Amino acid sequence: MQSLARIIIRFSGWNAIEIRMPDIKGKEMVMASGFQKRSGPVQATFFKKTTREVQVDELRLWFEQHRMMPVCLNTAKTMETCGNGKLIVAGNHFKTVLAVPVVDKEDNSFIAAIFLLDTKEHPRNNDIKIILSHISALLGGALHKKAIQQELLNVFNHSADLIAVQDMDGRFISVNAACNNILGYSEAVLLQKRLTDLVHPDDHGLTSSAFELLKQQEQLTYENRIQSADARYKLIEWVAVSDVTIGKVFSIGRDKTDLSHTREKLRKISWSHSHIIRSPLANIIGMLHLIQQEKLTYDEKTASYLQLLEQQAQEMDTAIRNAVYDDDTAQQL
């Protein structure tokens, strides 16, 4: 950015240039500056106010009202000027300022401004305006790309989930802070390992198969147990997306260890309560079976009631078994 500012100064012959943009708090920051005779930090005053208080906010409104067109701020003018005041930068009195907007190429919104300053009063120079407009368009595209990269970097750094970039064999290339927070390993340690180095032995085959599948398909969801730095295992659910053209896998992992422990506790509670319920239910079924085995004479209506009652009790017992146990265990009971 600084090199760009100096090139523009040499090309235009004007005294100074500044490239400025609002920061996230709506204030202004200097991105780059350049002078013909000197360089370094710039302290600017505008009508006895700093440019941080005036320039960007006022020019933003001007740019928006005039469809992002450049503006020449000349003390000899009235409409497109700063009035009768002078722009003072580092002790130099600048009489003419050419301001060109830098816009976001996606939504055409104002994101920065290029200020070309000179101690002389300049007539309108459309050639310089056109050239600076082209430069601002290129700069706008670069800043838009940079903003997207910064947003992605913020997500990467501040996500509560594990985010990792790996090669197609599972070797870590980049990891976010959550990998350290959840697993306890430093970034330096993880970058020396493959994912399979940390996986529970029983999940090693599943994890290797997942990476083989990612060489053939773009996205995959799977779970495995990862050993943390304290030797305990964490259950991680991974959503992995591969790009074989660059040989990388982008993975987001969510720690489901606590959820798994909660499910196990609920399963044990359900198991114990099911025995409390099934025990009297089994007694009822047994009594009904004995009654039906007795050589007693019932009318047809009573016999059908007994048969229906036993059937309903059996169905209730089956429903409890299926709700509490897995399919294989339920069939054995």
- 330 vs 176, more confident: 176
Kindly state the tokens that stand for 231.
């030797």
Of 20-29, 143-152, 191-200, 291-300, give the lowest mean pLDDT range. 20-29
CATH fold of 159-255, please?
Answer: Beta-Lactamase (3.30.450)
Give yes or no for residue 213 having a pLDDT over 60. yes
Which segments of the chain are extended strands (E)? 16-22, 28-35, 44-46, 49-50, 71-74, 87-89, 92-94, 96-103, 110-118, 162-167, 172-175, 219-227, 233-243, 248-255
pLDDT confidence of residue 48: 34
CATH second-level architecture of 2-156?
A: 2-Layer Sandwich (3.30)
Task: Average the pLDDT over 168-182 and give the result.
Answer: 93
pLDDT tens across 265-277, in order?
666 656 565 656 6
Average pLDDT score over residue span 192-218: 93
- The predicted pLDDT at position 33 comes to 55
Q: Report which of residues 213 and 138 the model is more confident about.
A: 213
